[in-house]
Structure 1
Amino acid sequence: MAASLTDRDLRRQTEVVQELLSPLEHDSVPAWGQQVVSALSEFLRSGRALLFLPTRGGIHAFASGVPAEPFREAVRATSPGANHFYDPALDRTMAAIRRRGLGAWSTPMIPEVSGIELERQPFYHEVLRPLGMAHLLALGAPSPGGGILSVGYDDPSERPFGDRTLAAFDTLRPAFRAGVRSFERFRQRAGALRHVLSDSELGLLVVGPDGEILWTNSRLDGLLEEDPAGSDLMARLLRVARAARRSRIPGRKAARPEPVRKPRDRIRTEWDTYRLAAGFLPPGTAHRDWAVVVAVRPGRIALPTVRELQEFEGLTERQAEVA
């Protein structure tokens, strides 16, 4: 059993810190969470690691070596933003940890912190012990805007750095807190964006830097359903988004959405004419990188030209003029 960190341990520690600090560097929250628990499991040489983040939008739980569901099921949302354990003893324990402002803590510390014997609680017998996490090391306590990062061992003798393991874990505290704050800011921005999209009278499409559709609102969905050429309309909106992405200056920063330099202000299908505008969303709003938002609304159906009638209906020039 090592008493100090080797060069390899320090490299693994750095990897955990880098993962914790980079929630916006991944394609999704689950991808970030899984990378964090995998790196933590490597650093503290435990096959069982957990990242648990209660938010106003739901509970995010990521695990390595153990299922996340038992931990997610142990918590209930009593009101928006208020998460509580079904086990009242665990609720009191987490409240005591938050009140004491503890950094890293372990299950042997719980009786002193909260006056509760964890070994007598259902959660210990039904979840922790069966999953090989009877000896738990953790950072934080579940709360809105907070979270818990933990590793578990079946026995204290499995700890890689002996009694210093908890101190080694505590070195991750600043990165953990910073990562959770970044995650929460991104989640709130994304939620605000969805709110705007959902309530807008315009049809709205948000496209990521690689061309993936990140979001559409119900107004756009309705327009696509009403127009018999809806699939063609969507394809043309995506082409506009691609053109907008190509027009962006690499590395340029902005505090608010930027208009595209030369937006194509209308497109037409056989069903209707649509006016549109496109702009940029800064990194950290809809995506970790720049995203394009395309807004569209139907205009009045314009009278077709002679040439258009010929093309649509296969008419001669004279027939088109009469029509």
Structure 2
Amino acid sequence: MGLSLTTADLTRLEAASRLLVSPLAAPSPEAWIREAGAAVRDLVGGESVVLQLSTSATPFLSDDAPDVVGGVLEVVEAVLSDGVRFSDPVTDLWNRLRREREIHTFSWDSNRHLVEAHDVSIDQGLLIDSLRRLGYHDFVGMVELTAEGESMVWVLQRRHGRFPVGEAALPLLGSILPSYRSGLATLGRLGAHRAALDAVSEPLAAFGPDGQELHRNPALVALLAGEPEAARLDAELRRLGAQARWLARSTARQDAPVDAERAVPTARGRYTLRTTVLPPGLFGSDPALLVTVAPPAGPTLPTPETVRERTGLTLREAEVARLLAEGLSNAQVSDRLFIAPATARRHTENVLGKLGIGTRAAVASALLAVA
């Protein structure tokens, strides 16, 4: 059937599609599928969404229907490499038939027709019975098989036939199914690259050929969290990343641009952003950009051993003094040195007293003076 969509429908369609093709923009695969699943739920007008992600540590996820997850798990017999086996023969029959026929979008009614063509009533299903007991009488969804196993977005509605988009629900899911496939493929292909980037201590972000951010590592997240002018720095980061759009076009003309550098001054000092061209094949068939962020350079603080020798602090107090000079709070000092918060507070008081200063902000100057 042809789709007749309102402006609001088109906006939701675009939002769902954008999220589905951007798995590396989220902090984790689970965060991606939760956000994308919520957008799919809103697109078709469902009340809840249950998600299955083959790479997740748990078989099913849901932020708004944990009771359904519990009900599903009650009839799960085993999680297999290509999906889930149920102790419910009706659900197992449906799974077998849709896999054989390569069905990727489904609804309550399409499932009914599929199993009842084999003289089995959907009403005999344990999973359907569990849904009804929880107050759900309709659903639509989409499912895809990847190298890691099956993944699914399953949208629930309490009243049968009451999805606001009506019969357009399945065609709408069919229209975003390519985005879902692309997102899952990207996740499987680039998951290792995400882990590699996360292991790098230098703050950085990767951008695809459309200029969209693919991933930012924890070092960059932490840096921005501690920068009062993070919004400005982030805007410049994205502006550099957007160069990936013309990078792909210019490479096609064999006229690739050289790496770029941009200085971003803030109250804390001058950051240096540098772009590096990543070759085709690393993040897909097109070139990509890696943008690194070098924090403001400053005088080097003395080592804890030097501080101990020149100030009379104990070695532990010298370690605390170094962390205070870097701007860490007592709680952060406690976490970094694996000591109790009360111990960190006592060491801080000793540092201030022995250095003869009244504030934590003065620790860095005091240490630089003895460097």
Q: What does residue 176 of structure 2 align with?
A: 172
Residues 132 and 154 in structure 1, CA contact (< 8 A), matched pair in contact too: yes
CA distance in 2, matches of 1:56, 1:18: 21
* Aligned counterpart for 1:159 among listed residues 163, 169, 177: 163
Where do residues 297-308 of structure 1 align in structure 2 (5 Å cutoff)?
none
Tell me the amino acid that sits aligned with residue 138 of structure 1. Answer: G
Residue aligned with 1:169, SS: helix
- Do 1:137 and 1:150's aligned partners in 2 also have CA atoms closer than 8 Å? yes
- How big is the alpha-carbon RMSD for the aligned residues of Structure 1 and Structure 2? 4.3
Give me the whole-angstrom Cα distance separating, in 2, the residues matched to 1:78 and 1:173: 23
- Which structure: greater helix fraction? 2
Aligned to 1:46: 46
**Local SS of the residue matching 1:146:** strand
Q: Report the CA distance between 1:118 and its aligned residue.
A: 2.4
What is the letter of the counterpart of residue 54 of structure 1?
S
Instruction: Check the 8 A contact 2:141/2:154 in 1, yes or no.
Output: yes
The answer to whether 1:210 aligns with 2:221 is yes
Could you tell me which residue of structure 1 aligns to residue 111 of structure 2?
110
2:59 counterpart SS class? strand
Alignment partner of 1:137 out of 140, 150, 160: 140
Contact persistence 2:198–2:218 (CA under 8 A): no
- 1:119-268 matches, within 5 Å, as 119-126=123-130, 128-140=131-143, 144-189=148-193, 207-211=218-222, 246=271, 248-249=273-274, 251-254=275-278
> Where in structure 1 are there 5+ consecutive unaligned residues?
196-205, 213-244, 271-303, 315-323
| Contact 2:68 2:134 survives alignment (8 Å) | no
Query: Residue 98 of structure 1 contacts residue 141 of structure 1 at CA under 8 Å; is this kept in 2?
Result: no
SS in structure 1 at match of 2:51: strand
Measured in 2, the distance between the counterparts of 1:97 and 1:169 equals 16
8 Å contact from structure 2 (residues 108, 138) kept in 1: yes
| Structure 2 Cα separation of the partners of residues 26 and 56 of structure 1 | 14
Counterpart CA distance in 2 for 1:165 and 1:4 is 12
* Deviation of 1:121 (Å): 1.1
Q: Cα deviations across residues 256-294 of structure 1 (Å, max 9, x unaligned)?
A: 8999999xxxx9554xxxxxxxxxxxxxxxxxxxxxxxx
Question: Using CA pairs below 8 Å that are at least 6 residues apart, which structure has the higher relative contact order?
Answer: 1
Between the aligned partners of 1:260 and 1:21, the Cα distance in structure 2 is 26
What letter corresponds to residue 10 of structure 1 in structure 2?
Answer: L
Question: Cα distance, 1:100 vs. partner?
Answer: 0.8
Normalising by structure 2, what TM-score? 0.50
How far the C-alpha of 1:209 sits from its partner, in A, is 0.6
Give, in whole Å, the separation in 2 of the partners of 1:73 and 1:182: 28
Sort the Cα spacing of 1:76 and 1:142 in 2 relative to 1 into closer, same or farther, 3 A: farther
| Residue type at the aligned position of 1:135 | D
Aligned equivalents of 2:163 and 2:292: distance in 1?
Answer: 55
Instruction: Tell me by how many angstroms 1:158 deviates.
Output: 0.4
User: What are the Cα deviations for residues 233-277 of structure 1, in whole angstroms up to 9, with x where unaligned?
Assistant: xxxxxxxxxxxx95551x434468999999xxxx9554xxxxxxx
1:149-195 deviation per Cα after TM superposition (whole angstroms, max 9, x unaligned): 12222344302233333222211111111122223334444567899
Query: Cα deviations across residues 207-253 of structure 1 (Å, max 9, x unaligned)?
Result: 421227xxxxxxxxxxxxxxxxxxxxxxxxxxxxxxxx95551x434
For the structure 1 residues 151 and 56, does the alpha-carbon distance in structure 2 shift closer, same or farther, using more than 3 Å as the test? closer
Paired amino acid for 2:180? F
1:17-28 → structure 2 map (5 Å cutoff): 17-28=17-28
Q: Cα gap change, 1:139/1:259 in structure 2, threshold over 3 Å: closer, same or farther? A: closer
Equivalent residues in 2 for 1:278-297, closer than 5 Å: none
Q: Are the equivalent residues in 1 in contact too, given 2:82–2:149 (CA < 8 A)?
A: no
Shift of 1:38: 2.3
User: Counterpart in 2 of 1:297?
Assistant: none
- Tell me, in whole angstroms, the C-alpha distance in 1 between the residues paired with 2:13 and 2:48: 16
Inter-CA distance 71–146: structure 2 relative to 1 (3 Å threshold): farther
With over 3 angstroms needed to count, the CA separation of the structure-2 counterparts of 1:131 and 1:191, relative to structure 1, is farther
Using the TM superposition, give the Cα deviation of residue 145 of structure 1 relative to its aligned residue in structure 2, in angstroms.
3.8
In the alignment, the residues of structure 2 paired with residue 163 and residue 207 of structure 1 have an alpha-carbon distance, to the nearest angstrom, of: 43
Over 3 Å counting, the alpha-carbon distance change for 1:94 and 1:19 in structure 2 is: same
Moved more, 100-109 or 142-151: 142-151
**CA distance, structure 1, for counterparts of residue 313 and residue 164 of structure 2:** 78
Structure-1 separation of matches of 2:141 and 2:24: 24
Separation in 1, partners of 2:272, 2:110: 58
Aligned to 2:254: none
1:95-138 per-residue CA deviation (whole Å, 9 max, x = no partner) reads 32122111312222235434343221111111x22344332211
What one-letter code is carried by the residue in structure 2 that aligns with 1:119?
D
